[in-house]
């Protein structure tokens, strides 16, 4: 299984959700890993380090740029260019039975002019997308816009799960109901809508992974 974890934008909880899923998958006995092929900025710990902790093995990003900005801009600033083929080879080399690839930024964040994270998911031949949205004002617009654009331009990409991520679990659950009713049922009717597991809640992580796993099998 190869899932690509995209978001409605940056800082929506992709790393938190991906780490939870990988950690729960490994706890259930699965050979799972979380990968971050592109990383920008100098956060400590980095997204790749958090995924490495969940995976039991740190895989440094293929492309890492210090500037905290869009990947295409950070790469250009560093005198580099992000290419899809090396990323696909890198992911194949590090893949396990269950591989979750976390993108840098949102589904349509540019990796180079004319190429986005959605194009990367196509190039990877992903078995499906896990879309993460933040439990905050604007969630319906942001999630609806992303799903509508994906359905129109990338019909080959199947959104299998939409995960509402937020520190307030009760609020996230209420928003998840609205996301399903107003957005997902219209634009991605086959996707399941879930809520991220509270930090440290291993039982909730296990339940989240079980549901996501079923979506891909």
Cα–Cα distance for residue pair 40/31, rounded to 1 Å: 27
Phi, psi of 140 (to 5 degrees): -70, -45
pLDDT 10s digits, 149-165: 999 999 999 999 999 99
Q: What domains sit in the chain, N to C, each tagged with a CATH number?
A: 2-215 (3.40.50.300)
Query: Is the full-model pTM beyond 0.95?
Result: yes
Q: Which of 23, 36, 160, 213 is catalytic?
A: 36
pLDDT-based confidence at residue 125 (cuts at 50, 70, 90): very high
pLDDT 10s digits, 42-93: 999 999 999 999 999 999 999 999 999 999 999 999 999 999 999 999 999 9
Question: Residues 133, 162: contact at Cβ < 8 Å?
Answer: yes
Q: Residue 39: its pLDDT value, please? A: 97
180 is catalytic: no
Query: Dihedral, CA atoms, 137, 162, 82, 93, nearest 10 degrees?
Result: 150
Cα–Cα distance for residue pair 210/203, rounded to 1 Å: 11
């Amino acid at each position: 299984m190869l899932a690509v974890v995209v978001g409605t934008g940056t800082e929506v909880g992709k790393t938190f959700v991906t780490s939870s899923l990988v950690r729960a998958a490994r706890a259930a006995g699965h050979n799972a890993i979380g990968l971050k092929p592109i990383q920008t900025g100098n956060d400590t710990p980095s997204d790749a380090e958090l995924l490495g902790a969940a995976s039991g093995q740190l895989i440094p990003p293929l492309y890492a740029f210090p500037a905290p900005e869009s990947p295409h801009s950070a790469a250009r600033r560093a005198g580099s260019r992000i290419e899809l083929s090396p990323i696909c080879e890198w992911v194949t080399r590090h893949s396990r039975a269950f591989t979750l690839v976390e993108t840098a930024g949102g589904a349509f964040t540019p990796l180079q002019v004319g190429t986005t994270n959605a194009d990367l998911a196509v190039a990877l031949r992903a078995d499906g997308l896990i879309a993460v949205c933040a439990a905050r004002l604007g969630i319906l617009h942001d999630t609806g816009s992303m799903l509508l654009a994906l359905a129109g331009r990338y019909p080959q990409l199947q959104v299998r799960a939409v995960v509402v991520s937020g520190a307030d679990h009760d609020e996230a659950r209420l928003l998840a109901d609205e996301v399903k009713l107003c957005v997902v049922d219209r634009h991605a009717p086959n996707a399941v809508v879930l809520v991220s597991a509270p930090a440290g809640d291993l039982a909730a992580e296990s339940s989240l992974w079980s549901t996501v796993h079923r979506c891909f099998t």
